[in-house]
Structure 1
Amino acid sequence: MRASSAIRLAAASAVAATAVLAGATAASAHVTVQPSSVPKNATDQTFAFRVPDEDDKNSTVKVEIDFPVDHPVPSALVAPVPGWTDTITTTKLATPIHTDDGDITDVVQRIVWTGGQIAPGHYQDFTVDLGALPDGTDKVVFKALQTYGDGSIVRWIEEPQDGQPEPKNPAPVLRLTAATAAEAATPAAAPAAPAAPTAPTAPAAPVTPVAAKAATSDSTARAIGIAGVVLGALGVAAGLLLGRRRPGPSA
């Protein structure tokens, strides 16, 4: 009986925990930029604006991302999203941005996606390649407007503040961290000193048939001479042995 009560209590706790997690997920779902943080000298400038549909009945039919004017983004390329049409609007700066490639006077003001749908309980990533990140700031704050099929609009435009609770409708924020050492330019390594030249080796004299034959004859003569010496020594030893064994003359 106690075991059955414990099982029911555990099941109820699991259901309650699931409900809490589901509620937290729904409450925290809002338009974000992915990744949300990159080094200031990052070479990969591709980001995705992730838009979840939080409505129980209506689909999202329009997404608008407004770019900052105080720290402008010079240019952007939009990846196509099936079923959606994108439109980029630019604006002219009062003070041009000076770069090594010349002055930039027109910057991105907003990007709008229309024509598609994000069903309830789903999300869509809208990928953008930013030509360059702005200088003189540690974050880029975008403002997002999400339009539903019933005409209602959710404005994700409140800038989160450090040390403060997250606002009800936070704006997408891209944080720019300190430049990484791996991305910093490093001087090229000095080329290795060439090895000191070595004295040329004299080529070996070619072996002619006559020289080869003379070498062979000399080797044969030496072998015969050595064999003769060995046989002579054996003969002398045999003679001495026989002389010792021969009996002397009788009286």
Structure 2
Amino acid sequence: MNHKHRIAHRLTLLTAATGTAVLLAAGPAAAHVEVESANAQALAQNVEIAFDAESESDTAGISEIRVVLPEGIAPADVSYGEGPKGWEFTVNDDGWTVKGAALKAGVNAEYSVVVKQLPDAKELAFKMLQTYGDGRTDRWIGLDESDENPAPVLKLKAAAAGATPIGSPSPSASEPVTPTPTATATPSASKPSVSDEKEEDGLSAGVWVAIVAGVLVVAGAVTILVRRRGDVTGE
């Protein structure tokens, strides 16, 4: 092997070694869906989270992205921020879906959502299914950093001092509270019953009984007098 051939051979070995070193230094595969937030802090409220789903198809564009929420965030507590023109946002039992007309091939799908409150955690992994117009689906669901298809992960700062989950009882909640009177606590005498109202509209039942009795007595007396007069006339 002459001098030139030895140099070329060494350069080939050096290039191969350099390439191997770069691959080893790269470590675990990077997520192909990026997630970020300007307020990525545990228990923060009304937090906007942005997603950037990389297009990995040269022939079809992204048409749908389905996300499974991490523990601690309810689907009802997520609303749509911004996204591709014409795309719609719907809430699922375990997360959400954004979809619409397929984007151009090679164009990333960028959109954002707003979360009512982040949970008290160190990081949040958003499992994601990315579908293209031709039916292809990329599954970014791995929870291990070494996974070939890792889910995008949002790192959170520790909660601010005094921050509490929405809905937690306030310090004054344990103090006794005077009950508010209800309809059942109102005395029944304050409102007349149906029978009372009827009696107030006319004479009471006792008065009517006395009147009827008086009429019967008078009628009886008149009958007796008529009979006696008849007897006297007959004599």
TM-score by length of 2: 0.50
Aligned position for 2:127: 143
Deviations 1:49-81 (A, max 9, x none): 110101232222211122235653551221243
Aligned Cα RMSD in Å?
4.4
- 2: distance between equivalents of 1:61 and 1:171? 19
Higher helix share: 2
Indicate conservation of the 8 Å contact 1:58/1:149, yes or no.
yes
Stretches of structure 2 lacking an aligned partner (at least 5 in a row): 1-6, 165-235
> Offset at 1:154?
0.8
Stretches of structure 1 lacking an aligned partner (at least 5 in a row): 92-107, 185-251
TM-score by length of 1: 0.48
Deviations 1:115-163 (A, max 9, x none): 241522x32311111111124x322221111112221111111113xxx
Q: Identity of aligned pairs, percent?
A: 31
Aligned position for 1:110: 96
1:84-99 correspondence to structure 2 within 5 Å: 84-91=86-93
- 1: distance between equivalents of 2:81 and 2:33? 18
Indicate conservation of the 8 Å contact 2:127/2:152, yes or no.
yes
- Match of 1:174, SS state, is strand
Indicate conservation of the 8 Å contact 2:48/2:81, yes or no.
no
Aligned position for 2:141: 157
Indicate conservation of the 8 Å contact 1:36/1:174, yes or no.
no
- 2: distance between equivalents of 1:67 and 1:123? 21
Higher strand share: 1
1:49-64 correspondence to structure 2 within 5 Å: 49-64=51-66
Aligned pair count reads: 158
Deviations 1:24-50 (A, max 9, x none): 7xx635112113982214356111111
- 1: distance between equivalents of 2:150 and 2:39? 16
- Match of 1:88, SS state, is strand
Indicate conservation of the 8 Å contact 2:31/2:152, yes or no.
no
Match of 2:105 among 108, 114, 119: 119
